[in-house]
């Protein structure tokens, strides 16, 4: 079964950690498509937003290519903080996968600030606070669009990882 997992959460909330943990446990068919990694590959620095058109084209193209593996578990690792990114940008991919899930990382603000500071490339705290404030939780439309939606409020992701 081909599965697509869309991660959603502000920087420092644990999305990349989750992705890498999932891959470590199920490495054979797990593909991680990370906007940060693509920025680093394309622009030389994950903080460089000047090549975003190219980054996002490759991001969605890779998700499409990986769907050719009948047992693929593809993880889209990016902020996806707003509904428009979690629905409109995912619609073209939905038909390529048997299951499309959303995992939202909604951790305590102070914990996210702490974890952001510990990142290799933390984003400025002012920008992080703005992202936390603007983050949109899933609504009714998203609950009908996705097969599963999980809301992560702590680091206990073992049950979710075991599902894949």
In sign, the C-alpha dihedral spanning 104, 105, 107, 113 is negative
The first and second tokens of residue 111, run together, are 């914990």
Q: Can you give the chain as a three-state secondary structure string?
A: CCEEEEEEECCCCCHHHHHHHHHHHCHHHEEEEEHHHHHHHHHCCCCCCCCHHHHHHHHHHHHHHHCCCCCCEEEEECCCCCHHHHHCCCHHHHCCCCEEEEEEECCCHHHHHHHHHHCCCCCCHHHHHHHHHHCCCCCHHHHHHCCEEEEECCCCCHHHHHHC
The first and second tokens of residue 52, run together, are 């975003």
Domain residues for the domain of 52 are 3-163
Given this model, what pLDDT does residue 136 score? 97
Given this model, what pLDDT does residue 120 score? 86
Given this model, what pLDDT does residue 47 score? 81
- The number of domains in the chain is 1
Compute the C-alpha angle 102/1/77, nearest 5°: 35
88/91 Cα distance (integer angstroms): 5
* Per-residue pLDDT tens digits for 44-97: 888 888 899 999 999 999 999 999 999 999 999 999 999 999 999 999 999 999
The domain spanning residue 121 has which CATH number? 3.40.50.300
User: pLDDT confidence of 149, banded at 50, 70, 90?
Assistant: very high
User: pLDDT confidence of 19, banded at 50, 70, 90?
Assistant: very high
């Amino acid at each position: 079964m081909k599965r697509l997992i869309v991660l959603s959460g502000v920087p420092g909330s644990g999305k990349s950690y989750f992705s890498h943990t999932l891959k470590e446990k199920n490495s054979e068919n797990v593909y991680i498509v990370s906007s940060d990694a693509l920025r680093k590959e394309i622009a030389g620095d994950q903080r460089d937003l000047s090549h975003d058109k190219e980054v996002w084209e490759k991001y969605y193209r890779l998700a499409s290519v990986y769907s050719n593996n009948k047992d693929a578990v593809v993880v889209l690792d990016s902020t996806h903080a707003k509904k428009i990114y979690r629905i409109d940008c995912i619609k073209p991919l939905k038909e390529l996968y048997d299951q499309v899930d959303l995992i939202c990382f909604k951790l305590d603000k102070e914990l996210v600030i702490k974890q952001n500071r510990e990142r290799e490339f933390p984003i400025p705290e002012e920008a992080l606070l703005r992202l936390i404030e603007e983050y949109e939780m899933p609504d009714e439309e998203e609950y009908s669009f996705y097969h599963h939606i999980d809301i992560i409020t702590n680091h206990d992701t073992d049950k979710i990882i075991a599902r894949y």
